[in-house]
Amino acid sequence: MISKFKNNTLVFILVLASFMGCKDQKPKEKETTENEQTKKENSRDLNLFFDGVFSNDDEVVLHFEDIEGMDSIRNSLKGMPNNWQRVTYRFPEETIPYGFSLTFSDESTNKIKFDKIVLNRMDDRIIIKDSTLLVYFKLKNLQHRFEGNKLILEKSSQNGSAQIISKENLNSRIENRYTQY
């Protein structure tokens, strides 16, 4: 009887110890993830986020000009006509662009339900939403219209690529805002 009690007690202690050991692991993993996120947000690199609903698969290319000349970053996205997506770009090594554009491939993008473009560096953000897109960007081979409070961008012609090109007022704002760091 006492032997059975000792065995049950020993099993209970082992099970309890394994649960306690697992419990200690989870906060450390969460803490690491939070620290990594904070590092990304506090990075001196400039980030560009393009948020919206994209109806087709596409490759979106960020072209930019900086002190070293022209460069580009490619990013693929999966068309999900009912889901919001974020396309993320990180400019290399503290680059502040003189100008930039987002280019959508020739045959893919037909319709974008635009949400916003965010430029972010060290928790300092420029947020471009709704009709402000038309103030800061020139649209090439794209028509715009509103559905409720959302800006819809559609290709004007199926021939050629569509582009969103930064205007001088945004380029100046980026330079004035982010070169001070």
Residue 116 has pLDDT above 60, yes or no: yes
For 38, list phi and psi in degrees, rounded to 5: -65, -40
Quote the percentage of the chain above a pLDDT of 70: 74
Question: What pLDDT is attached to residue 3?
Answer: 61
Q: Is the pTM of this model over 0.75?
A: no
Place of tokens 């205007």: 167
Residue 177 CA to residue 103 CA, distance in Å, equals: 25
Report pLDDT digits (tens) over 22-62.
544 444 444 445 555 545 545 789 999 999 999 888 899 99
Question: What pLDDT is attached to residue 161?
Answer: 87
State the average pLDDT for the chain.
83
Residue 68 CA to residue 23 CA, distance in Å, equals: 50
- Considering 1-5, 12-16, 73-77, 176-180, the range whose residues carry the highest mean pLDDT is 73-77
